[in-house]
Structure 1
Amino acid sequence: MRRVQGRERKDPVDKRTIAEPYKIKVVEPLRATTRDYRAEKIREAGYNTFLLRSEDVYIDLLTDSGTSAMSDNQWAGMMLGDEAYAGSRNFYHLEAAVQEIYGFRYVVPTHQGRAAEHITSQLRIKPGQYVPMNMYFTTTREHVELAHGIFYDCIIDEAHDPANPHPFKGNVDLAKLDRLVQEKGRDAIAYLSLAPCVNMAGGQPFSMGNLRQVAAWARRHGIPIIFDATRAVENAYFIQQREPGYAGKPVREILREMMSYGEGCTMSSKKDNLVNIGGFIATNNEEFFVQAKEMVVVYEGLHTYGGLAGRDMEAIARGIYEMVDDAYIASRVRQVEYLGSRLREAGIPIVEPVGGHAVFVDAKRFLSHLPQEEFPAQALAAALYVDSGVRGMERGIVSAGRDPVTGEHRRPKLELVRLTIPRRVYTNLHMDVVAESCIALYGERRAIRGLKMVYEPKKLRFFQARFEPIVP
């Protein structure tokens, strides 16, 4: 038995290395900078990695959203863009791809997932209604609250413990759902929002068994399930690898089964669908579809383009078919596992098990000398950039924002730095650079100082907030 690209291979016959299922045709040069240069740039950016310029970043692990490398087939498709204002043939290609792979009948394109969340929240939520979620996501909760709804966390408790090895930490706790219905009543719930591979929990999947139980509960209470399907393919891969009865079953079939338990989904195509821009709403509810078409015309564009060029819709359609290739998704998740294994073996505290799109460093344990009000994850992300030019992002108290009622900081149990790996972009040598930087910082972690916030936007503050180091 030996380790290959971050996982153990037990096959006694074939123990050879598994390479990426593609070859590189085009390269983009990377720019290395000095430590002094980076120290000045992070100071100018207010110690917020979102405010750094891309040209000053060496390895960019800020996000996997819109940062994928498209295939030759997708680029070829973009040359076939039908830019007609109405009835573009590329829309019908996108519609057919969603119907075949996801299984939803109706499709409304949007310029990205955030727009799909906005339209869904505005149409489905009445003021004061609750939206249970398997942990919050920043933009999803923001749109719920903008529609005067209330976020309710129904994820299992294990998800809030970064060291817990539970294989499906994205599962829903049915007792929490029962408690909400008992206390507030069924009519107080707008819909159930489920995210495959829960981002804020560390990219953690839910199991198909749990999803079946949740779907039965939802049918019993007449509550629709709406997926945030952004990283559903990665969740399908984990089901294939971890859940009894699914070994050897194609990811494409697992994804289709997952989606069959929901009424619809919102989608940021910038992740699973392997494109740089785009999204959609998909549903089997004809009444909601008609309403969404009307609203998309107001906010996005005609219902057959939704703020996208025809070429973008064509790239999404082709990316949908590419994303469910088993060799591709295995290679994608194995690279994340590879980085996670390097950090784990060096004693770096990370979220376990390693998730599908990123490795999450536990900043609370990494910088145990800093209290949460000194923003340890923000400080660690800034220090990582200064050390090596690697850009990650904070996922902790800054991302959690403030309670809209009390105005106090929300204090999540998880205080994390997300190292998000774009799809088909970097090699494992790049992952080695990231790992070595984290290891070096861990050896001198006591020298990393906390931060104070000196500028705070009212909405989604983590994007634009600015900080300064706390002077001892």
Structure 2
Amino acid sequence: MRAYKSKMVTPIRLPDREEREANLERAGYNVFNLDSEGVFVDLLTDSGTGTMSESQWAAMLSGDEAYAGSRSFDRLEEAVSDVMGFERIIPAHQGRGAENVLYGALVEDGDYVPNNTHFDTTRAHIANNGAKPVDCPCEGALDDDRPFAGDLDVEAVRRLADEVGAEKIPAVLLTITNNSLAGQPVSVENVRAAREVADELDAAFVIDACRFAENAYFVREREAEFEGESVSAVAREQLSYADALVMSGKKDGLVNVGGFVAIRDDEKFDDLYADARERGILYEGFTTYGGMAGRDLEAMAVGLREAVAESYVADRVGQVQRLGDLLADRGVPVERPTGGHAVYVNAAEFLPEIPDDEFPGQALVCELYREGAVRGVELGSFAFPDTDRPELVRLSLPRRTYGADHLDHVAETFEKVAERRDAGEISGLEIVAEPEMAELRHFSAELRPVRAQETTTAD
């Protein structure tokens, strides 16, 4: 049962099939190009798409819009200290702005940066600074029901250091939860091991903390050492080993915009902090607003505290699990156990007749829209070219937004797609236009069906 009630609603509509067909073709079979008005249940991302609380809306009215020295910044700084244990922050307009600030100061041409699995913008920022992002997930992480399939393979990091030289690895990254690997959590034991290998390499240890509260919940539920602990206590423990954090407030900050870099208050990192502050001013804005309005700073300060509330995070993770169960009960091959923010579907298993070079994940994404105006996102070979990623489709649930009937609609949409699959009516796709930067291909590329598809006018 939800631990909240609705006080504001937004009307949505289910376009008829003919309209959905036209929208999909006009979008170049890339759902990023769809207008949101044509989407009925939007599971493209959980980034900035959630519903804020009454306390957050109330806090926004007290926003201090001063260019410098905003008291709203002081409130955010205090919240980060209390909830996450970091004293020094550099605000940014969102997570990728924070990545630009930190990785531009930390990474140089010819460097190598290992991560449990790089997400798209992280990979792009590292590559844009001339370094090579290297994925180091645990071998066979998704082959069985591991409680912490998102862990970093620390031995793979050591092998990388032996191959390229420790001096070429300025940072070891850890993304919690592991978004690109089915949203799977990372254990505190693994966080400590990552800290140890970073020390061995004299590298900074950076945590991408976008979903730190969800990860802390899984740790409390699955790691024996933390049984009975509060989510807030686990959150501080898992982050205490990091030298720096990258945070998108649009996830576990429970806001629609904003982010920050946090750097440990240690003289070892004074130069990094100074360089990052300069980049923050250059790219984001002065250091006490960083591209956000004062009201946005206030909302995030409240949201960080709400994110570690027991009732909120239990409801959040539970709703994702319910969607995963609904799909699994219908024979949809979902990655289990489900993650904290999304259900991941193995598109290669769901659409076995579509070869890998025809992007089965993107084909499934398009069929979900065609059949039910449900928008998900592909995180396989289309989004991550030249990587050995599984053909996954992510269904990200916005926070505090959809109800049980919306989840039922998603499950029913999968049933309709399965009927078309069994009738041999689904085609693979081919790319007809794409940007130069491969790491960002899925945001704007256009595709077309490889084979003509049968259409119907009935829903």
Q: What's the TM-score bracket when you normalise by the shorter of the two chains?
A: over 0.9
Structure 1 residue 66 displacement after superposition: 0.5
Q: Is the 2:169–2:201 contact (alpha carbons within 8 Å) kept by the matching residues of 1?
A: no
Match for residue 202 of structure 2 among 202, 210, 222: 222
Aligned to 1:454: 432
After TM superposition, list the pairs within 5 Å mapping 1:260-409 onto structure 2: 260-284=240-264, 285-401=269-385
Aligned to 1:72: 54
After TM superposition, list the pairs within 5 Å mapping 1:67-466 onto structure 2: 67-159=49-141, 161=142, 163-284=143-264, 285-401=269-385, 410-445=386-421, 446-459=424-437, 460-466=440-446
Q: Is the 2:112–2:169 contact (alpha carbons within 8 Å) kept by the matching residues of 1?
A: yes
Give the Cα separation in 2 of the matches to 1:376 and 1:181: 35
Structure 1 residue 33 displacement after superposition: 1.3
User: Scaled by the length of structure 1, what TM-score is found?
Assistant: 0.92
Structure 1 residue 128 displacement after superposition: 0.6
Query: Alpha carbons of 1:78 and 1:461: their partners in 2 closer, same or farther (altered >3 Å)?
Result: same
Query: Alpha carbons of 1:153 and 1:411: their partners in 2 closer, same or farther (altered >3 Å)?
Result: closer
**Unaligned regions of 5+ residues in structure 1, if any?**
1-18, 402-409
* Count of equivalent residues: 444
Structure 1 residue 351 displacement after superposition: 1.4
Structure 1 residue 467 displacement after superposition: 0.8
Aligned to 1:47: 29
Cα deviation per residue 1:80-133 (whole Å; 9 max; x = unaligned)?
111111111000000000011110120110001101111111111121111000
| Percent identity of equivalent pairs | 43
Structure 1 runs (4+) greater than 6 angstroms displaced:
none
Give the Cα separation in 1 of the matches to 2:151 and 2:283: 34
Q: Is the 2:173–2:207 contact (alpha carbons within 8 Å) kept by the matching residues of 1?
A: yes
Give the Cα separation in 1 of the matches to 2:248 and 2:230: 23
Structure 1 residue 71 displacement after superposition: 0.4
Give the Cα separation in 2 of the matches to 1:431 and 1:40: 25
SS in 1 for 2:298: helix
Give the Cα separation in 2 of the matches to 1:412 and 1:385: 26
Structure 1 residue 443 displacement after superposition: 3.1
Give the Cα separation in 2 of the matches to 1:237 and 1:150: 32
SS in 1 for 2:226: coil
2:47 is matched by which residue type in structure 1?
S
SS in 1 for 2:140: helix
Structure 1 residue 411 displacement after superposition: 4.4
Q: Is the 1:158–1:166 contact (alpha carbons within 8 Å) kept by the matching residues of 2?
A: no
Structure 1 residue 208 displacement after superposition: 1.0
Q: Does 1:28 align with 2:22?
A: no
SS in 2 for 1:321: helix
Cα deviation per residue 1:230-251 (whole Å; 9 max; x = unaligned)?
1111111111111112222111
1:223 is matched by which residue type in structure 2?
A
Greater shift in the superposed pair: 176-185 or 305-314? 176-185
User: Scaled by the length of structure 2, what TM-score is found?
Assistant: 0.95
